Amino acid sequence: MELVSTPRVAFLRGLADEILQQYGRGRMIVAVDGPLRSGKTQFADDLAAVLRERGHRVFRASMERFHRSRAAQGEFGDDTPMRYYRHGFDEAALRRVLVEPFRMGGSTAFVTAVFDPSRDAWVEPKWLTGPADAVLVLDGRFVLRRRLADLWDFRIALDGEPEDPADVIAYAEEDPRLVASAVVDDRDPAQPRRRFLDSC
């Protein structure tokens, strides 16, 4: 279904075309990172809608659904921003039930959510399958961190300075904008624009 044309949709169409020109066939994963309250979930939702408009099968996932439980996080010490940055998410589960089986393609099933952070409880896994050509759009804090960045085919960082303490730690260790395929200023959602960082 064709989306209503707006400056936001036009921008996302251009970004989607860039992604598809590089990774037009097979399974590909697009990751969207950004500081707390940067709008990354909505941006990922809107990008997924444009990729669907382009005729691709698209799946959505969020790191919010791969949290560790509060009890599991407690095994790593006191509740601090550093603990949350280091151990707040179950990256092993992310790899095991989503990334690795999604990459296999074919009829291999994968799961896009394992945890509900609002209830601090595991959710019943819903196993999905898709065609050989499919796109996964994943959003979340810290998804462009060094130990995860190479998992993604196309990396998007939403521009903005970190304010939350855990984000400050993450950006001090490695600014996701420096490893991104595209940096987007989405602070005015109606008029997103590309930002090109000076690498000098």
Helix residue ranges per DSSP H, 26-178: 40-53, 70-74, 81-87, 91-93, 100-104, 146-149, 165-173
Residue 60 pLDDT exceeds 90: yes
pTM: 0.94
pLDDT tens digit sequence for 109-128: 999 999 999 999 999 999 99
pLDDT tens digit sequence for 128-185: 999 999 999 999 999 999 999 999 999 999 999 999 999 999 999 999 999 999 999 9
- Reported as a pLDDT band with limits 50, 70 and 90, residue 31 is very high
- Reported as a pLDDT band with limits 50, 70 and 90, residue 200 is very low
- Please state at what angle helix 40-53 crosses helix 7-22, rounded to 10 degrees: 70
- Distance separating alpha carbons of residues 11 and 154, to the nearest angstrom: 16
Domains of the chain from N-terminus onward: 7-194 (3.40.50.300)
Residue 194 pLDDT exceeds 60: yes
- Distance separating alpha carbons of residues 57 and 123, to the nearest angstrom: 24
Higher pLDDT, 105 or 28: 28
Which pLDDT score is estimated for 180? 97
Which pLDDT score is estimated for 22? 87
- Distance separating alpha carbons of residues 152 and 156, to the nearest angstrom: 10
- Reported as a pLDDT band with limits 50, 70 and 90, residue 107 is confident
